[in-house]
Amino acid sequence: MARATPCTAECGAPANEGAPLLRLLGDRSLPRTRLATLLRSAGRALAQARAARAAYSHPAMSPGLATELAQDLPWGALADAAREPLVSPGVRSAIEAELAGRWELLTRGERIALARRATTGTLRAALPGECDPAVREAARGNPCYRLGLDAAPAASGAEDHGA
């Protein structure tokens, strides 16, 4: 009997399916064209949060490729990749734009979960239109909200800060 893991719940892939991909992504000298070919053919293995973080933090990752790949990844893997410190600012912006674009399509529970762990860029883009008080409260508990949005001017749309 197969053991349930966070990955099988999120993307249906076995937990170790991304291991060969992780080994290949460990080669930091992989050229951009080979990286793009590899990631486009990775399928479900890329949907694992660990593989997504490794792919998005690869030095050869471009914002264009990041946007292309983000369309097929679950929001949780994207949120984790956006928080990865090694991800370049351009790639992070592409991930944040994809997450902000999906915000309205997420269920209330998914928006609450994403608000708790989203980056400042995602929160800045998505929260101004959010009316659900539970989602806004979850965002207030996110360190990125406190560090980035509280210091932002009122024109950013984050006028409801609470205590």
Q: Give per-residue pLDDT as tens, 93-112.
A: 999 999 999 999 999 999 99
Report pLDDT for 44: 80
How far is 64 from 114, CA to CA, in rounded Å? 23
Q: Which residue matches tokens 């998005």?
A: 56
Contact 96, 67 (CB under 8 A): no
At 47, is the pLDDT very low, low, confident or very high (cuts 50, 70, 90)?
confident
At 81, is the pLDDT very low, low, confident or very high (cuts 50, 70, 90)?
very high
Please choose, from the candidates 81, 139, 75, 143, the residue with its C-alpha nearest in 3D space to the C-alpha of residue 103.
75
Report pLDDT for 42: 87
Estimate to the nearest angstrom the gap between the alpha carbon of 132 and the chain centroid. 21
Q: Which residue has the higher pLDDT, 46 or 68?
A: 68
> Phi-psi category of 162—alpha, beta or left, where left has phi over 0 and alpha has psi -120 to 50?
left
Torsion of CA 125, 127, 129, 134, to 10 degrees: 160
pTM of the shown model: 0.75
